[in-house]
């Protein structure tokens, strides 16, 4: 898709379609008023005749409005302008994108950037519009015998800039957003693949492919024999019940001087999670192919920063495994020794994500990172706490959490800091090992984070529990690509410091 920014006034450009905002009660936005004047009031008459009220998300395509040069006018309702939040702005842009897609429009100029959204500038509005367009146009049909024959002809969209912001600055933001969307698409594609294709071995191959396309990335793969020598008993215990061998994937992005210490991203890559011996209920178990979305996020973020050529060093460590109830599977009550030397009593084999992450976090410390951020679809308790709107942030370093939350606010890929007080740690006590892998029913996402904190040690560390945001269920089932925007924005911000 070709995106650009224009300063063209309405009815003075060569685009096939002009997109304008209509407010509640059919009130016209400034660009709509200009078009109405050019049409000798015919536009407003057509709007009134159609019954279009400007309600949020309402769309209507008008063709060949008298006296206008543009072939089509797409009306987009934005509701009450005093109540137009960031989320509502995204909602109206999603509707706009779908209307363009379904109308077979080839190119368009959007004036939706002129509406006020909580003091957000044009740059932000353009970035969010692009994300919504890419989300609307995304399709995953590579495994269908018949591909989607109704592929949208949409190839070019421009955005109106009427603020004191240079077009060059907005174009830079467009390039940044395209890279983020490219990373999100990779994350979605990996998440949407079924478990019989997206195995730990498949993820390892994809990591090598990324390194081939981006010279700044170097990929290495640790096999089970190497992990055993390193003492990764926790990670290997999860893979015991599966015929698929576990993989520890390491992707190193070199964008700065070799002397600069990296940021470590650690992703949970459980490519299918049955729960192991502590078997999950059968309902919706197919969605456990999404239990590798933490790993997918690392893949997508690494791709995004490589396309942006960010001046920063980042290491991505992915613990990839299946969790199945085979004859050699780990049993509740088993005790394993981690790479850190600490021992774990496994009381529930369905709390496997923290096991693979414990060894991956320890391994990431060999790169002497300035900070460690792990990303995982870790707990159902996180979904109960925050729903599907925000991921949870847990940390041993409040400034790091603040920076992550701020990056989420800027990218509108939001997160929320959760408590991780010392009071929760005793819930992980074990009579037989250094710790148990679960802490009881209450505060499940918090005790999971407390468990991981024991492997981060004194290094600034944050845990993103993305169980509620990584995928959608129901009719719109599919991976979301989150939190690639949050992490990419965070790394962009780090480059400015």
HEC letters along 228-283? HHHCCHHHHHHHCCCCCCCEEEEEEEECCCCCCCCEEEEEEEEEEECCCCCCCCCC
Give the strand order in the sheet containing 391-395: 217-222, 247-254, 313-323, 263-273, 371-376, 461-465, 391-395, 415-417
37 Cβ contact partners less than 8 Å away, ≥ 6 residues apart: none
How many Cβ atoms sit within 10 Å of the Cβ of residue 306?
23
Which candidate in 6, 101, 156, 280 is catalytic?
280
Q: Measured between alpha carbons, how far apart are the two ends of the chain, in Å?
A: 32
Q: Is position 309 annotated as part of the catalytic site?
A: no
* Tokens, residue 141: 């049909």
- Report how far residue 408's alpha carbon sits from residue 218's, in angstroms, rounded to the nearest whole number: 28
- Report how far residue 124's alpha carbon sits from residue 410's, in angstroms, rounded to the nearest whole number: 8
- Report how far residue 185's alpha carbon sits from residue 156's, in angstroms, rounded to the nearest whole number: 19
Express the helix, strand and coil content of the chain in percent, nearest 5 each. Answer: 40, 20, 35
Count of residues making up the chain: 497
Which candidate in 178, 354, 454, 482 is catalytic?
354
Q: Is position 280 annotated as part of the catalytic site?
A: yes
Tell me how many degrees the CA angle 167-169-170 measures, rounded to the nearest 5.
Answer: 65
Q: Catalytic positions, please?
A: 280, 354
């Amino acid at each position: 898709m070709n995106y650009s920014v224009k300063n063209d006034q309405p009815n003075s450009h060569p685009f096939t379609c002009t997109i304008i905002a209509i407010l509640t009660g059919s009130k016209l936005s400034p660009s709509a008023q200009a078009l109405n004047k050019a049409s000798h009031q015919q536009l407003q008459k057509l709007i009134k005749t159609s019954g279009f009220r400007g309600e949020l998300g309402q769309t209507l395509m008008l063709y060949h409005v008298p006296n206008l040069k543009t072939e089509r006018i797409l009306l987009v309702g934005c509701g009450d302008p005093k109540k137009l939040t960031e989320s509502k702005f995204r909602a109206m842009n999603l509707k706009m994108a779908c209307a363009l897609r379904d109308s077979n429009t080839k190119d368009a100029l959007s004036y939706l950037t002129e509406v006020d959204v909580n003091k957000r500038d044009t740059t932000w509005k353009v970035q969010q519009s692009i994300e919504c367009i890419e989300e609307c146009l995304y399709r995953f049909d590579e495994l269908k015998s018949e591909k989607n024959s109704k592929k949208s002809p949409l190839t070019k969209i421009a955005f109106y800039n009427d603020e004191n912001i240079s077009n060059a600055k907005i174009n830079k933001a467009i390039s940044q957003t395209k890279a983020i969307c490219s990373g999100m698409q990779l994350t979605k594609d990996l998440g949407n693949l079924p478990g019989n294709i997206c195995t730990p071995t498949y993820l390892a191959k994809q990591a090598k492919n990324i390194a081939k396309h981006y010279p700044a990335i170097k990929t290495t793969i640790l096999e089970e024999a190497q992990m055993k020598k390193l003492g990764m008993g926790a990670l290997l215990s999860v893979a015991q019940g599966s015929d698929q061998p576990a993989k520890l994937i390491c992707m190193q992005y070199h964008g700065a001087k070799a002397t600069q210490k990296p940021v470590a991203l650690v992703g949970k890559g459980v490519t299918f999670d049955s729960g192991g011996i502590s078997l999950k209920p059968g309902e919706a178990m197919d969605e456990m192919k999404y239990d590798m979305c933490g790993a997918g996020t690392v893949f997508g973020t690494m791709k995004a920063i490589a396309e942006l050529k960010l001046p920063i060093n980042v290491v991505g460590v992915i613990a990839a495994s299946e969790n199945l109830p085979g004859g050699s599977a780990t049993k509740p009550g088993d005790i394993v020794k981690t790479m850190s030397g600490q021992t774990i009593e496994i009381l529930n084999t369905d709390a496997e994500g923290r096991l693979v992450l414990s060894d991956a976090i320890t391994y990431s410390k060999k790169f002497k990172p300035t900070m460690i951020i792990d990303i995982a679809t870790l707990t159902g308790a996180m979904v109960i706490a925050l729903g599907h709107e925000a991921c949870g942030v847990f940390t041993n370093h409040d400034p790091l959490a603040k920076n992550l939350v701020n990056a989420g606010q800027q990218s509108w890929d939001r997160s929320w800091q959760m408590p991780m007080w010392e009071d929760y740690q005793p819930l992980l006590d074990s009579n037989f090992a250094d710790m148990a892998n679960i802490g009881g029913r209450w505060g499940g996402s918090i005790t999971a984070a407390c468990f991981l904190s024991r492997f981060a040690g004194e290094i600034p560390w944050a845990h993103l529990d993305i169980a509620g945001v990584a995928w959608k269920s129901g009719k719109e089932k599919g991976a979301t690509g989150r939190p690639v925007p949050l992490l990419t924005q965070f790394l962009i911000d780090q480059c400015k410091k």
